Amino acid sequence: IHKRKYSPPLIMYNSIMKPLEGVKVIDLTHMLAGPYAGMVLADLGAEVVKVEPLLGEMTRGLLKNDPDYAFKEFGAYFLTLNRNKKSVSIDLKSNKGLSVFYDLVKSADIVLNNFSAGVVTKLGVDYEQLSKINPRIITCSISGFGETGPHANRPAYDQIVQAYSGGMSITGPDVNTPTRAGIPIGDLGSGLYSVIGILSALYSREKTNIGQHIDISLLDVQISLLTYMATMFTLSGKNPEPIGNAHFVHVPYNTFTTQDGFVVIAVITDVFWQSLLDVVNVDSLRDEKFNLSVDRLNNQIFIEKELNKILSTQTSEYWVKKLNAAKVPCGPINKFSDALNDEQVLHRNMMVDVDHPDGGKVTMPGNPVKMSHTDEESYSPPPHLGKHTKDILIDWSGYDKDQINQLLSDDVIRSID
């Protein structure tokens, strides 16, 4: 009989508990990939402490004075990516500051950073050093090209990696117009893979009682996201080319013009094709030579031309309603003003109001992870610099007021009451 070596303890959860409650995260990140990973962990209930320099991390100043994209001197980046976090301000470049940081590490579970390669070692906050202080610590580093390999020291940002990975070569209308994804998928994808790595390491630690280091590369993530298209290349040796919004197998699968905008129709089965014909009722498309997908692919230009003729006679709302009733996969191309006010989006609580620490609220995307039991959703304001320095040093490290006051006097930490 096979016996399991480990059985996790059974915990009776309160129904309003978040799934990662009790997990302590030190967030050393800046800009987008790392802060996004920290935000996801914080939304799921981890206590995420943003450790910042005495002048704050660079994203605090991004768009802070923009009349359209800031609220009370918090720009859109900082407002969104740092909700549910706490702020501790420490001078890590000083010996005393590093000692304070090490004291926090003793009770932490995770240290997350997205510094350039080599910076964590230079600062003395790398896994080799931190694991001596806390063998259960899990560290995660996000960088452009990873921590190993011939290009490990190269700087990289989202669009650079989108280009380098080949993703931009298949995005856009044609081979002469390589186009980046509208959202920064290089950064955001890396943030999500970091969360996957961290949760995997936490689970592994439950069985081994040992932490580990996670090395996330923006380039690695983008290569992974090429998925089946990369395999198609290795099988054929043929570089894929961009085809706009069309599909290389299915027809019609594209963007079509309506009277007041655009709709996307995705016919991936012959049954959907027959249902589409019943909706648009175009005689020229009822020819039997279009009944099979392979034949429709060979007649893509004609089919799309005929569909655009009929679809342009009515509004997007009209066609989406008709097509949905016929179970034909479709959707409007929404502007943000449409998408963020959509009844389905609102029903799923995907737009939430988050308090500003100085009063007022900002509306932003919510948490897409919906759970059946540990389902509590709440959002605390993004913090002012050093807002939680004293509390965290007391709660995590057991510092007393005299120690804290001395650190403040020595300009090792920054705190606001």
402 is an active site residue: no
C-alpha torsion 150→156→161→164, nearest 10: -50
Beta bridge partners of 51: 88
Spot the catalytic one: 43, 109, 126, 187. Answer: 187
Residue 208, both tokens: 């081994």
Order of all β-strands in the sheet with 85-90: 213-217, 138-143, 110-113, 24-27, 47-52, 85-90, 413-414
* CA-closest candidate to residue 114, choices 3, 218, 251, 255: 218
Number of C-beta neighbours around residue 313 at 10 A: 11
* CA-closest candidate to residue 243, choices 234, 253, 233, 235: 253
Residue 352, both tokens: 């939430």
The residues annotated with a catalytic role in the active site are: 187
